[in-house]
Structure 1
Amino acid sequence: MNDQRVLITGATGFVGQRVCSLLESQGAVVVKASRSSSRQPNTFQVSALGSNTDWRKALQGCTAVVHLAARVHVMNDQAVNPLLEFRQANTEGTLQLARQAVQAGVKRMVFVSSIKVNGEAGHFTAGSKPNPIDPYGISKFEAEEQLLEFGRQSGLEVVVLRPPLVYGPGVKANFLKLLSAVARGIPLPLGAVNNKRSLVFVGNLANAIATCLAHPRAKGRVYLVSDNSDVSTAQLVREMAQAFGRKANLISISPRLIESLAAILGKRAAAQRLLGDLTVSPQALCEELDWKPPFNMQAGMKETADWYMHQGQLKLR
């Protein structure tokens, strides 16, 4: 990658920081774009994602782009028209970046989409039909379709990656809440949950992105990516506990009872994420691009737990 100059959008984010670090270690010149200002070299501040975002300065001299920036899925979205807001940022914003990238002479663009394009639950492979349900998933699917078509017309080499939940140092939201509960030894009523869920460690996702940037066979393809190691929610809690060097505090309660209680409390969707199946097969990525996740779940979880402890969020006795 010594001759690569790569623009990373969302460079200061959880995934972006890992991607920047990996590509720099491989010899690429990394150009970082984010909403926050910085005086660091090769760092550019850009406005909100949309059809008028100006990427031209950041794109100067770049040979490739990794597009991570997005309006992300949020619970209890307060927007009057959430789909319109998601489309403006994730669909129109992506196409605006692609158009300006081609004008700047960029050859390849890796677009990090989401498994939500396939749906909220199920067992997904590269051949699974898209079935986005929420505004975020719909906007990402429309961005994929329009970006791939633009690539066919313009010659831009587009590669799409759909990850499931990403974990690792810097993780936020529900995964961080669960991690914190496990670290503190809080009893969790998930011992009887025997579902299957796919996740992807941030180091594995960054490595897959780097592979998609470099591999000639990736052009025009859509790949699913995961750790290739599915776990139940109960197993996930045990993996977290092991990473902290403690025993999981699991209580076995019927998943149906949990689901019923969650419905009463208006938390049906949250319960589904804990109790339902969502598996993501990276088989096509592995076979076509000779990719293999460099980290197993134990290594990824240990790095995540070590980060959590280092942040001083917990002092285990």
Structure 2
Amino acid sequence: MNILVTGANGFVGSALCDHLLQSSEYHLFAALRRLPSQLPPGLTPLPITDFSDLTPHLHQIDVIVHLAARVHQMQDTAADPLAEFRAVNTTATANLAQAAAQAGVRRFIYLSSIKVNGEFTPMGQPFAAQDVPHPQDPYGISKAEAEIQLRSIAQTTGMEVVIIRPPLIYGPGVKANFLSMMRWLDKGYPLPLGAIHNRRSLLALSNLVDLIITCLTHPAAANQTFLASDDEDLSTTDLLRRLAKALKKPARLIPVPMPLLQAAAQIIGKPALAQRLCGSLQVDISKTQALLGWTPPVSVDQGLSITAQHFQQSQRQ
């Protein structure tokens, strides 16, 4: 099977390509804006400046895994963030999918985001795949609009589309807030996060890769939208404790009440930070499990251990 991965040198793409290259049943093509100094055996690079450069190659592709995106920006400096997100995440995605359908590509797997559903959930009321989308920021809106375009292309051309909406993904090489948490814990900083009683779904990188590989060929995946998680929801406090254990470090967590944390965040002008730390965001993966017979192969503690080991190895280099 010939598979094309966009965003192949990104956080998810690198892990997916590494896994696919271990199997002789896949011939892997990678769309790359920059070529690494060394390419792994078995990978065919397709240098691009934009997705239109892929058109001459699409006739030989069976499945596209589209991971490339303009990612969520904590402090976006673009004059019109929504226009920037739409240009890459919506318009360019739809153009690639349309060209793929015309070239005879059988299946298009799209990595979307749980932000299509929304930003938070009431405790114990997880998002479900069939919920009406409610994106609230430019990134989520651009992903939701891409999903609409892809479903339309699938309906008019017959190319199968599979949409996966992950929550926060963690694993070796993770960046942003998760990396910051590991650094705080590794240095032994006391953190005022010992009394947070929310619930959040996470997704280990290994589990996402396994789900994508399942969707490459599973007949029940065609034209479906799937939510994904590790199937165990954690509070921020529990996550920090278990991450500290994976790092073999003490968790110095001060039990500051959530209302005080939220008030302090308002005072310093960072209410969104309080929402991420104190709010809940749960996803229901029962549809994914039922239709695909899929169970996350890696537990939360295993995923945290793999992530922590990679972090500590990188710190020693």
Give the count of matched residue pairs: 308
SS where residue 282 of structure 2 aligns? strand
TM superposition outliers: structure 1 runs of 4+ over 4 Å: none
User: In structure 1, what is the equivalent of residue 68 of structure 2?
Assistant: 69
SS where residue 31 of structure 1 aligns? strand
Report 1:96-175 matches (<5 A): 96-122=95-121, 123-175=126-178
Choose which of 206, 209, 213 in structure 1 pairs with 2:212: 209
User: Once the two structures are superposed, what CA deviation does each residue of 1:95-128 show, in whole Å capped at 9, x if it has no partner?
Assistant: 1111121233210010000000000001211232
SS where residue 104 of structure 2 aligns? coil
Query: Structure 1: 5+ residue runs without aligned partners?
Result: none
SS where residue 292 of structure 1 aligns? coil
Deviation at 1:162, TM superposition (A): 0.1
Q: What is the TM-score with the length of structure 1 in the denominator?
A: 0.94
Amino acid at match of 2:8: A
Q: Tell me if structure 2 keeps the 8 A contact 1:165–1:200.
A: yes
Indicate how the Cα distance of structure 1 residues 256 and 74 shifts in structure 2: closer, same or farther if over 3 A, else same: same
Deviation at 1:58, TM superposition (A): 4.5
Question: Matched residues in 1 for 2:57 and 2:120: separation?
Answer: 38
Choose which of 34, 47, 50 in structure 1 pairs with 2:49: 47
Amino acid at match of 1:257: L
Q: What is the TM-score with the length of structure 2 in the denominator?
A: 0.94
Q: Tell me if structure 1 keeps the 8 A contact 2:185–2:250.
A: no
Choose which of 1, 5, 11 in structure 1 pairs with 2:2: 5
Deviation at 1:60, TM superposition (A): 4.4
Q: Tell me if structure 2 keeps the 8 A contact 1:31–1:58.
A: no
Deviation at 1:57, TM superposition (A): 4.1
Q: Tell me if structure 2 keeps the 8 A contact 1:227–1:296.
A: yes
Amino acid at match of 1:244: L
Amino acid at match of 2:228: V
Choose which of 6, 13, 17 in structure 2 pairs with 1:16: 13
User: Once the two structures are superposed, what CA deviation does each residue of 1:243-267 show, in whole Å capped at 9, x if it has no partner?
Assistant: 0122211110011111111111111
Query: Structure 2: 5+ residue runs without aligned partners?
Result: none
User: Once the two structures are superposed, what CA deviation does each residue of 1:191-210 show, in whole Å capped at 9, x if it has no partner?
Assistant: 10010000100000011111
Question: Matched residues in 2 for 1:95 and 1:227: separation?
Answer: 30
SS where residue 163 of structure 2 aligns? strand
Q: Tell me if structure 1 keeps the 8 A contact 2:59–2:105.
A: no
SS where residue 87 of structure 2 aligns? helix
Report 1:1-317 matches (<5 A): 4-26=1-23, 27-38=25-36, 40=39, 41-48=43-50, 53-122=52-121, 123-312=126-315
Amino acid at match of 2:31: A
SS where residue 69 of structure 2 aligns? coil
Q: Tell me if structure 2 keeps the 8 A contact 1:33–1:45.
A: yes
Q: Tell me if structure 1 keeps the 8 A contact 2:113–2:164.
A: yes
User: Once the two structures are superposed, what CA deviation does each residue of 1:59-110 show, in whole Å capped at 9, x if it has no partner?
Assistant: 3411000000000110221111111111110000111111121233210010
Deviation at 1:212, TM superposition (A): 1.1
